Amino acid sequence: MAEKFPESTKNECLARMLTVRDALDVISGKWKILIIISIMSGNKRFREIERSIPKISSKVLAKELKDLEEHQLIKRRVYDESPVLVEYTATDYVFTLEKVIEELHNWGANHRKKILEK
């Protein structure tokens, strides 16, 4: 099989890696993309998000939500009614990840098909 980037110098290869790593640093991990999908799908409340993702624990969810908020991928709003109501929503910025998620979804579907065919 021919190489994909035949023209690439070592530095170009390295630059490509570092850039991809920048992305992975933010969105990799077992849960982040799943949480983003859940919120993009309209789940807003903590327990709602928690129930939508199989096997996630409150602890992990709380931590990941903080991470995502720090990276401005989601917004946390507290409405001081009683009882206190908390809502997580998608930011504009998280929509820049749409294509990444779409491609991951396409590839996942394709890969599953491949596995089952064997």
Please identify which residue in 45, 66, 77, 107 interacts with its own copies, judged by CB under 8 A.
107
Residues 37-96 that bind DNA (CB under 7 A): 45-48, 55-60, 62, 65, 76, 82-86, 88
How many helices (H) and strands (E) are present in the chain, helices listed first?
5, 2
The distance from CA 65 to its chain's CA centroid, rounded to whole angstroms, is 11
**Per-residue interface string for the shown chain with its own copies, residues 60-89, x marking contact by CB under 8 A:** ---------------x-------------x
* 9 phi, psi to nearest 5 deg: -85, 170
**Which of 19, 83 has the CB closer to its own copies?**
19
Which residues face 89 on adjacent strands? 75
Residues in 23-52 that interact with its own copies by CB under 8 A: 23-24, 26, 28-30, 33-34, 37-43, 52
* Dihedral, 40, 42, 48, 52 alpha carbons, nearest 10: -60
- Taking the least distance from each CB to its own copies, the nearer of 85 and 93 is 93
101 by Cβ neighbours in 10 Å (0-12 / 13-18 / 19+) ranks as: middle
Which residues between 17 and 36 bind DNA (CB under 7 A)? 29-31
From the CB of 44, what's the least distance to DNA, in Å?
8
